[in-house]
Amino acid sequence: MTTVPAIKGKIGDKLYFQCTMNAKDLIARTEPVEEHFSKQDIKERGERGKLQRELNKRYLTDVAPYLLRNKDRFIPSIVVNLDPKLCEFSSLENLSIPVEGKMHRVKEAIQFDYRDQAANIGFLHIKDVGSMYILDGQHRMAAYRAAINPSENEKKVLQKKFEDTEETHLFDNSNELKSDQISVLFISLKGDVEMRKLFTDVNSNARTISQDQKIGMDERNGFYKIIQNIIDDNLVFSHSDWIVPAGTSLPQNSLKFIPKKTLTNIVEIIGEQNDVEWKKNVLPPKGELEKVQTICVSFLNELFSKIDGYKRILSHDPTDNPAPKYRNPENTFALIMKPLPMLALAEAVLLLKKHSDLDTAKIYKAINNINWSYKRGDDHQFLGSVINIDGNIQTGKGIKDRLRDLIIYWILGPDKAKIFFAGNDRLEKLTEEWRRATNKDGDIPEVKNK
């Protein structure tokens, strides 16, 4: 028999018990739905008979490593179906203790204004036989199982994961997980229909954190922390109003300068070009984080001050500035005022600084000389390859990479571009992409300047 502290409650017509159990005991007394019922039974039940979604491999590739890696780990409550035949609740109201040879009810020793709650506070006694199944949180519990007592296949997956990240020592942390006190909601439900209702209610009303929110709040991703510091400490921009907090779009009439997601992408590329290889969910040491942050801030300040269009906009107040004017397709800086081209341009500059013989001043001079306008209907140099016939910027990673390499080609010129792209067939592929996109023959033309 296992006894755990419990608080009895009721929501609507549902009786439940809020408890804490150590991970080892909870694993021993619960099962995922697909294990509790045979897969054949679940198949025969049909679509309307399903109680949960099947386990996603993320429990093994993401959640289990998170549990093993982080001492400051935390998970929300696990919701478990209460089997009345396996459990019994005893409240403080019904408990008596001997005092000087006489039996006294515990309730009488409780402060008067708390006494009425004694019936809802007590202990849940759980038999050591049988098991109950998880209604919500099966991925979290599967991760605990895999971290503490993995199957042979799970062990292989975790072994490879940790070998790739040089963290095989994390297996030593599995014993610590056994004593984790996990919050558990035992709820009494009547039949499969109620179970499916609870599952859909919980998951339909839950809201997944957005990528933009994660960038703003994550405490483990080094690049996200740099973005948080850049915004909060005004390390690049005079005010956070310059930044679009959510999404990646930037309408022509917006007074904002750059979406947070685009700024994050640029910072990640700066890290990549400086050979920074941080683990996704492990905050790097403070000294290392500060060093990379200095590199990122330095490049961003350089980029936004050396390119004339950026400098002119950012010299104004974020609530009253000429950004809409510069974003107008007729403006000679128009294209690189948009998020995707801004990202492509930043990456092109980083690559040119790292791999070409051009000095920094010449790179930015060339950028400022290029005519970045793309007026609809004009036969401009971006038509087809970056801008469609309707005057809209094409999207997608392939477009970003194409524009990045076109910028490099135009800044270097044909002869130096051949040297820059030597050693791979990127120039040939870029030329083919340009021909298909523009429906033209021949080589990529030289850039049109202002």
Tens digits of per-residue pLDDT, 220-262?
A: 899 999 999 999 999 999 999 999 999 989 999 999 999 999 9
pLDDT band for position 48 (50/70/90)?
Answer: very low
pLDDT tens sequence across 82-128: 888 888 898 877 777 676 667 767 666 666 666 677 788 889 998 87
Same domain, 183 and 317: no
pLDDT band for position 193 (50/70/90)?
Answer: low
Mean pLDDT (the chain) is 86
Write down the pTM of the prediction: 0.73
Q: Which of 153, 179, 206 is the last residue in one of the domains?
A: 206
Average pLDDT over residues 419-438: 92
Same domain, 79 and 152: yes
The SS3 of residue 21 is strand
CB atoms within 10 A of CB 91: 18
Are 409 and 417 within 8 A, CB to CB? Answer: yes
The alpha-carbon radius of gyration of the chain (Å, integer) is: 30
Question: Residue 218 domain-assigned?
Answer: yes
| pLDDT the model gives residue 40 | 44
Question: Residue 445 domain-assigned?
Answer: no
CB atoms within 10 A of CB 131: 16
Are 382 and 436 within 8 A, CB to CB? Answer: no
Same domain, 242 and 381: yes
Question: Residue 248 domain-assigned?
Answer: yes
Question: Residue 449 domain-assigned?
Answer: no
Same domain, 156 and 300: no
pLDDT band for position 449 (50/70/90)?
Answer: very high
Same domain, 178 and 225: no
| pLDDT the model gives residue 34 | 57
pLDDT tens sequence across 49-75: 444 446 678 888 889 999 999 888 999
Kindly state the helix (H) or strand (E) to which residue 105 belongs, with its residue range.
Answer: strand 102-105
Same domain, 229 and 168: no
Determine the Cα–Cα distance for residues 335 and 342; give it in Å rounded to an integer: 8
Average pLDDT over residues 419-441: 92
pLDDT band for position 194 (50/70/90)?
Answer: low
- Number of domains into which the chain is organized: 2
Domain that holds residue 263: 212-438
Query: Which residue, chain included where needed, has tokens 């040297």?
Result: 419
Same domain, 173 and 316: no
Determine the Cα–Cα distance for residues 70 and 427; give it in Å rounded to an integer: 45
| pLDDT the model gives residue 47 | 38
